[in-house]
Structure 1
Amino acid sequence: MLVIPTQLTHAQAAACARMLAQALQSESQPQAVVDASPLQAFDSSAIAVLLECRREALAMGKTFAVAHMPARLRELAVVYGVSELLQPAA
């Protein structure tokens, strides 16, 4: 499972996206699951990072899901019209 930091705003987005991309490459599982439970302070950049991670995972032939997404992050995904792309982990 891939874990994101407690703070994910515009200032941390590029570094977090790189970290997740590297972790994806070392992950041998067919499903990439991001654990969003650590998130405490975030902005819409968190959505962008998750979408980038999803794109990377799909390009590698993996499925993608987000576990433990905070309610505010789910609301942002709905506002931006991308909630169907950030499905919860089973």
Structure 2
Amino acid sequence: MLKLPGSVLLGDAARLWTQLEASLQAEAAQVRSAAGSRLRLQAGGLSEFDSSALTLLLQAARLCHREGLTLEVHEPPAKLRELARVYGVAELLWPEAVQSQAA
């Protein structure tokens, strides 16, 4: 399982995406070779972030979609989930959570 760093801020976002993109592509190849359909990304260590963290996650989800996989973000901080809700992208990152809240 890939892990987000502890800090994702705007000033570091481009560099972080370059690193994450390469890791995601390698992980996607491994997941597909094992006949998997979900790429897991651990966000539990994320303690300092701004909206650029959402941008990274959305880019990761797009990359996974292009690879025929679904991105699963594990243990996202509550504040990150709230930020995603405020920006209107929570259903793109956690569709199952949004559906269970609606029920």
Aligned partner of residue 54 in structure 1, secondary structure: helix
Is 1:76 aligned to residue 83 of structure 2?
yes
SS in 2 for 1:17: helix
Displaced runs of 4+ in structure 1, greater than 3 A? none
- Does the Cα contact within 8 Å between 1:44 and 1:76 map onto a contact in 2? yes
Give structure 1 stretches of 5+ with no counterpart. Answer: none
| Match runs of 1:56-67 below 5 Å | 56-67=63-74
Higher helix content, 1 or 2: 2
TM-score (norm 2): 0.80
Correspondence list, 1:31-46, <5 A: 31-46=38-53
Structure 2 segments unaligned to the other structure (5+ residues): 32-36, 97-103
The number of residue pairs the alignment matches comes to 89
Distance 1:87 1:80 in 2: 13
Q: CA deviation at 1:24?
A: 1.5
Distance (Å, rounded) in 2 between the aligned partners of 1:88 and 1:10: 25
Of the three residues 50, 54, 61, the one matched with 1:47 is 54
TM-score (normalizing by structure 1):
0.91
CA RMSD in angstroms, aligned pairs only: 1.5
